[in-house]
Amino acid sequence: MIDRFVLMKTRDIYDLISGQYFQRYDLNEESRILSKVTSQFEQLYSREPFIYEILDKAFFKLNERIIKKGKNLLYGKDLEWFFNIGQYLFYNYWQWMKNFTLDTNNNSLFVEIENFIEKWWTTFLSFKAMESETRKNLPPPKKILLELTNNCNLNCIMCAVGKNGYDPVRNMSLDLLNNLCENNFKDTELIRLNGLGESTILPNFNAYLGILGELPAQLEIVTNLTVNNTKIWDQLIYYNTNFLISCDSSSPQLFESIRRGSNFKIFRKNLSYIGNNVSDPLQAQLIFTLMEMNIHELSKVVQLAVDLNLGGVIVNVVKSDKNEWMNVKYEEIIKEFEKAYQISRSSGLKLKLPDHLGKTPINKLISNRSCQFSCKNPWEEVYIRYNGDLTVCNMLNPYIYGNCKNQPFMELWNGLNAYMFREFVNTKYRHYYCKDCYYLV
């Protein structure tokens, strides 16, 4: 007898997921919706519903043919499928719905929601149809982004991971890293240490580097460069590592107010050390995160990079739901961009500016193309979180393909959830996190 997941009660399956699988994610909205649906059912039938009894909510107002096919497919899935694939499918689905702000007075919005939901479940069914044929799998990703830790020594205002303190549970295990390197990374072109955490604070960071250093891939690290330990930088340099260094101000006071817990004096000392010891200036570049408070710092940061023999500056824009400041200060920002561009041009430094601010485009002569409207990253890279979750890209999109502790890496890379994301990413229904993307090509 198949142990079907649809025969579980709603609260049991939610408790299982939220307590074990999604501890890192905010499920408040999903919890509210599920509680509401469950309570309504209990009022009608005086009992808690099973999953199959509330599946209609996921299909919204689709035509009966799609609903029937979708339900028949889901009804046949067991608990193993749900744990490996299904839980992520439903999580991603509800997260994706954030594309839409429900407005009961906006009829066109409801049409858009219906169109999206139909496309979602039609895509789901098309993947299943291809499974019975010879489906062409993608080759392994060229680029691997690794989150070795979800701990940080700083409490930056735009991230705040550091406010959670240090917990070794949020470090990637050496066993997981070893397994990935031995079985999946032999042909990888680039491995970037990146994510919601600072890799260099790991007590046994050298052990991680030793494993990664055995691979032929180019090693790269995104770092806040604030650890006061030259031996760490020496070992990274020994492995010919590319450095992408976070720097949002050349002013000690502003730098330390943005990157709370940092010491600008130590940072600048480390920056100078890296600039003087890498084999090529382009192996050391700064990442500047543009915010309202540091608009006029960009040209100064570019000059700092020039002074310290660094090869480039990459400009990112802070991710926020409130971007009115960009519209209000657009001309001010553009003037600063042009000023920074002139410094880079006269010095030979490589400056990468975004091609838009919000919805407003920027002169192509000074900017670099972003992935705002056309993105190929889901076919070329994958981001692996500390606990084994495979997610989309360098920009830390919350969409999840699955977990490589529970399912083989290449099965996830070519699996249902990855396929679903790729089918939507370059359409008008792209994931909400992808909108106004500043990932520069």
pLDDT tens digits along 216-248:
999 999 999 999 999 999 999 999 999 999 999
Q: Is the pLDDT of residue 103 over 60?
A: no
The tokens of 326 are what? 């960009």
Q: Which of 52-61, 99-108, 128-137, 226-235 has the lowest mean pLDDT?
A: 99-108
CB 52 within 8 A of CB 76: no
Q: How far apart are the first and last CA of the chain?
A: 51
Read off the pLDDT of each residue in 55-71 and give the average, rounded to a whole number: 82
Continuous H helices in 19-63:
28-45, 56-59
For residue 134, the surrounding DSSP H or E stretch is none
Cα 152 to Cα 167: distance, rounded to the nearest angstrom? 10
Q: Of 123, 193, 137, which Cα lies nearest the Cα of 425?
A: 123
**What is the token pair recorded at 156?**
């930056």
Q: What percent of the chain has pLDDT over 90?
A: 71
- Is the pLDDT at 27 greater than 90, yes or no? no
pLDDT at 63 over 90: no
Please report the pLDDT score of residue 233 as a whole number. Answer: 98
Mean pLDDT, to the nearest integer, of 373-392? 96
The pLDDT, as a whole number, for residue 15 is 79
pLDDT band at 74 (very low <50, low <70, confident <90, very high): very high
Q: What is the mean pLDDT of the chain?
A: 91
Reported as a single tens digit per residue, the pLDDT across 125-151 is: 999 888 766 678 999 999 999 999 999
- Between CA 368 and CA 288 the distance in angstroms is 15
Please write the tens of the pLDDT for every residue from 253-286.
999 999 999 999 999 999 999 999 999 999 999 9
Residue 110, pLDDT > 90, answer no
pLDDT: which is higher, 136 or 434: 434
Please report, for the chain, the start and end positions of each structural domain, with discontinuous segments joined by +.
1-136, 143-378
Q: What per-residue confidence (pLDDT) applies to 322?
A: 79
Query: Residue by residue, what is the 3-state secondary structure of 275-318?
Result: HHHCCCHHHEEEEEEECHHHHHHHHHHHHHHHHCCCCEEEEEEC
Structure confidence at residue 148 (pLDDT) = 98
pLDDT value at residue 105: 54
What's residue 92's pLDDT? 92
Examine the pLDDT at 107 and tell me if it is beyond 80: no
Q: Tell which wins on pLDDT, 298 or 100.
A: 298
Q: What is the pLDDT of residue 13?
A: 82
Which own/partner pairs from 407-415 qualify as long-range (CB within 8 Å, at least 24 positions apart)?
407/84, 407/85, 409/180, 409/183, 409/184, 410/137, 410/140, 410/184, 413/138, 413/140, 413/141, 413/382, 414/135, 414/137, 414/138, 415/85
Question: For 89-117, what is the mean pLDDT?
Answer: 77
Please state the CATH superfamily assignment of the domain spanning residues 143-378 in this structure: Aldolase class I (3.20.20.70)
CA distance 82 to 76: 11
Which one, of 151, 168, 169, 150, lies nearest residue 261 by Cα?
Answer: 151
Of the segments 18-22, 93-97, 130-134, 223-227, which one has the largest average pLDDT value? 223-227
| 147 vs 105 pLDDT, higher one | 147
Cα(164)–Cα(155) distance, integer angstroms: 9
> So what's the pLDDT on residue 24?
55
In which residue are the tokens 């550091």 written? 162
Determine which of 9-23, 176-190, 288-302, 352-366 has the lowest per-residue pLDDT on average. Answer: 9-23
243 or 116: which carries more pLDDT confidence?
243
